[in-house]
């Protein structure tokens, strides 16, 4: 899966796993990337249905799509047998 084949996207996913949710500006601070570049990475994760975005006032809030990660885990579990 190309969406998780990038160190910046993996760091965003790890941060989401630890904190539960983050804002786009949090991801910018975490990665050190420019806001447009960070938004591009977030868009790839969202387009892959690995994260969910919701609007809260002026902020975009991101969370992990737990259902899709559960399915992904089941897929990898089957590969290991």
Residues of the chain with pLDDT under 70: 1
Name the class of domain 2-79. Answer: mainly alpha
Q: Among positive and negative, which fits the CA dihedral 60, 63, 67, 72?
A: positive
The contacts of residue 2 (CB under 8 Å, 6+ apart) are 44, 48
Backbone angles phi, psi at 39, to 5 degrees: -60, -35
Give the C-alpha separation, 58 to 12, whole Å. Answer: 20
- Could you tell me which residues are beta bridge partners of residue 55? 60
pLDDT of res. 73: 84
pLDDT of res. 1: 63
The model carries a pTM of: 0.84
């Amino acid at each position: 899966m190309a969406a998780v084949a990038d160190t910046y996207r993996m760091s965003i996913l790890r941060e989401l796993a630890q904190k539960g949710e983050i804002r786009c500006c949090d991801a910018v601070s975490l990665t050190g990337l420019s806001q447009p570049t960070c938004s591009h990475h977030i868009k790839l994760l969202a387009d892959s249905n690995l994260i969910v975005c919701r609007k809260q006032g002026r902020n975009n809030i991101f969370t992990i799509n737990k259902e899709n990660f559960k399915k992904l885990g089941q897929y990898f579990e089957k590969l290991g047998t």
